[in-house]
Amino acid sequence: MFLQRTALAAARRAAVAPVVRRSFAVSAIRRDANKVEPHTSGNRKIKSFHEIRTEEDLIGPGAAPGTVPTDLEQATGLERLEILGKMEGVDIFDMRPLDASRKGTLDNPIPVKSAGDEQYAGCTGYPADSHVVTWLGMSRERPIERCPECGSVYKMEYVGPQDDGHGHHDHHGYEEPKTFADYVKPQYW
């Protein structure tokens, strides 16, 4: 019995040692993965919103081995900038609803900021939700739009880059489609 046990122990030490070592190594990695702080991984540190300077800064560190990455760890690009901004209370895409405290008029339209050439805005009337959503399309060429349901006037304010490389005034011969507004006699405006 004693001999048997000793032989068994020796055999385990000798033959099974590599297997044992490997399983220890694996469990050691798993323990390390559990101990890793969620905001660090390897040598890369997560940059905060105010440390972002270039596109290169908008790459996450990735997840620690053996863990499932969070959005903060793996998001890149604009999504990453949005997440980092939200963490510091900065709404980079300005997702606030449009001003619904009044009805827009031609003299004093509701401003709609846009970083692109076109912008759609949903009007629900004044007071808000007094009619179903009506989508209004505005563009840099035709920034003013009036809701056909309630008459509220919206005006797109372009806030995008001034030099977008497209030559804003050259749209390759594209012409806005004519609307009834193009045929209203000037004296009626």
DSSP at 93: T
User: What's the CA gap between 107 and 4, in Å, rounded?
Assistant: 100
Contact 93, 79 (CB under 8 A): no
Compute the least distance from the CB of residue 76 to Zn ion, in Å.
Answer: 38
Q: Which is nearer to Zn ion, 131 or 168 (CB)?
A: 131
Shortest Cβ contact with Zn ion: which residue? Answer: 147
The CB-of-149 to Zn ion minimum distance in angstroms stands at 4
Min dist CB 124 to Zn ion, Å, is 7
Nearest CA among 147, 95, 145 for reference residue 125: 147
Q: Which is nearer to Zn ion, 69 or 143 (CB)?
A: 143
- Of residues 106-165, those binding Zn ion (CB under 5 A): 123, 125, 147, 149-150, 152
For residues 115 and 94, is the Cβ–Cβ distance under 8 A?
A: no
For the chain, the straight-line distance linking the first and the last C-alpha, in angstroms and rounded, comes to 109
CB closer to Zn ion out of 110 and 123:
123
Nearest approach, Cβ of residue 153 and Zn ion (Å): 10
**From the CB of 136, what's the least distance to Zn ion, in Å?**
8
Question: Using CB under 5 A, which residues numbered 34 to 63 contact Zn ion?
Answer: none
Closest-CA residue to 64 (of 48, 79, 44): 44
Residue number, 32 or 129, with CB nearest to Zn ion: 129
Cβ closest to Zn ion, residue 36 vs residue 150: 150
Residue 13 gets which letter from DSSP? Answer: H
- C-alpha to C-alpha distance for 189 and 184, rounded to whole angstroms: 7
Contact residues for Zn ion, defined by CB under 5 A: 123, 125, 147, 149-150, 152
